[in-house]
DNA sequence: AGGTTCATGTAACCCGTTACATGATTTC
DNA sequence: GAAATCATGTAACGGGTTACATGAACCT
């Protein structure tokens, strides 16, 4: 498996910067204030990540000087950055995406309306539903075969994982309903 | 925040080795076959981690030679290793544990019956329920305040996080019921 | 004048990832 | 005897964590 040329934190920053140009300090505040998708708000993570993105030509920082304002570098996406973000958003959902934590998928989805449009978001949820519905039976089978001779807490922990995916599946279905309602509203 | 002296992968291995002594290769197979709590099955992760644990005096490997058997190093916990594992299992649940993904909590819980006994596991679920019930309102409030001016996909993504925690809360309650039933059965 | 917030960075460390390497043992 | 599996490692790299550092602007 090849290494991604951009880390998840990098994509998170690309997604946010696409919606509005911001400084590193602004990003820190956002990450510090957002309870879900816990990224680090430490400067040791953010500034080097910004530097990497800039060196890769994905973002461009310009110094903003207002009168009596501390020197800030405000970053905005370049065309290459938009392309990189779009390619990431467009990637098909793989089994591996689901097994290795759904967090990255949710992050992608959160930027999808702005990046690719609602119709694509709705299709993403369809694909997620399909993939989850195909994965869950194999998970349940594993659970059934593994739980013999396992202590209660071990069995319960596995069940928690299954139920987490079931909850995600329900969410994906509800989300599709939301988009159907919304897109119908748009058409009127 | 101080750095843990043992990584999550290290604790996972301690927990497994406590239940039965195994070789690095066995651990790799376990990690490769277990779909939940995706740890890497790569030798580049496991063997260095085992080395760290052994240098720290937490595990002890002895070479097992059966006739016509490839040389295997089978690791078992030392007293220090058991202590380290127990301290980890006994740690109170912090808000931070919940915010930064529940995976580590679930891993701890899965070893708890074997490491501390069922009564402790049941209490752990109580504490988890309490903490989740306290956290969810603040999460919901954040969601409500943040979703204005947010695209649909962003709002849905946040809701998915909330629903994940709600699902975990329900799981914690069901789990307590399981233990109540089980402990009553033991008493008979 | 002194403390807080704004704002950006740097350096050491840890550890997981990827990829490569080696040899023994079993299986066909 | 060739291929697959068993079994253990190692080296380079990436990138997040922790902690430290620096200075400007603002408030009191």
C-alpha span between B85 and B15 (Å, rounded): 7
Mutant choice from B3, B35, B105 vs A, greatest count of A C-beta within 10 A:
B35
How confident is the model at residue B188, as a pLDDT?
62
Instruction: Supply the pLDDT for residue B187.
Output: 65
In angstroms, the CA of B112 and the C1' of C13 are apart by 31
SS3 content of chain B, % helix, strand, coil (to 5): 70, 5, 25
pLDDT tens, position by position, B91-122: 999 999 999 989 999 999 999 999 999 999 99
From CA A183, how far away is CA A175, in angstroms rounded? 12
Paired residues of B178 in beta bridges: none
Q: Are A112 and B153 a contacting pair at CB < 8 A?
A: yes
Query: B110, A158: Cβ pair inside 8 Å?
Result: yes
Q: Which of A32, A28, A34 is nearest to A50 (CA)?
A: A28
- Residue B76: per-residue pLDDT: 98
Say which of A37, A152, A161 has its CB closest to residue B36. A161
Mapped to the 3 state alphabet, what secondary structure does A93-147 carry?
CCHHHHHCCCHHHHHHHHCHHHHHCHHHHHHHHHHHHHHHHHHHHHHHHHHHHHC
- The verdict on a CB contact (< 8 Å) between B111 and A158 is no
- Taking only the tens place, the pLDDT of each residue in A40-72 is 999 999 999 999 999 999 999 999 876 667 789
Q: Which nucleotides of C are covered by protein (CB under 7 A)?
A: 6-12, 14-21, 23-26
Q: Which candidate from A101, A154, A175 shows the least CB-CB separation from B156?
A: A175
pLDDT in tens, A103-153: 999 999 999 999 999 999 999 999 999 999 999 999 999 999 988 889 999
pLDDT along chain B (188 residues), means of 10: 87 98 97 90 97 98 78 96 98 94 95 97 98 96 91 97 97 98 78
* C-alpha distances out from residue A173 to A107, A118, A129, B85, Å: 18, 15, 7, 40
Mean pLDDT of chain A: 94
Is A188 part of the contact surface with chain B (CB cutoff 8 Å)? no
């Amino acid at each position: 498996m090849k290494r991604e040329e951009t880390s998840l934190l990098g994509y998170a920053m690309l997604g946010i910067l696409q919606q509005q140009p911001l400084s590193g300090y602004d990003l820190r505040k956002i990450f510090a204030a957002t309870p879900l998708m816990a990224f680090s708000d430490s400067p040791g993570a953010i500034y080097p990540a910004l530097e990497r993105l800039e060196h890769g030509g994905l973002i461009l920082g310009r110094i903003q000087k207002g009168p009596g304002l501390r020197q800030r570098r405000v970053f905005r996406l370049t065309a290459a950055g938009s392309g990189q973000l779009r390619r990431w958003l467009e990637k098909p959902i793989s089994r591996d995406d689901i097994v290795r934590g759904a967090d990255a998928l949710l992050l992608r989805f959160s930027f999808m309306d702005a990046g690719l449009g609602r119709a694509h978001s709705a299709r993403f949820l369809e694909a997620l539903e399909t993939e989850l519905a195909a994965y869950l039976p194999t998970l349940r089978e594993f659970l059934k075969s593994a739980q013999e001779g396992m202590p209660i807490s071990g069995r319960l922990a596995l069940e928690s994982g299954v139920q987490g995916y079931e909850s995600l599946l329900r969410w994906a279905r509800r989300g599709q309903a939301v988009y159907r309602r919304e897109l119908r509203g748009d058409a009127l």
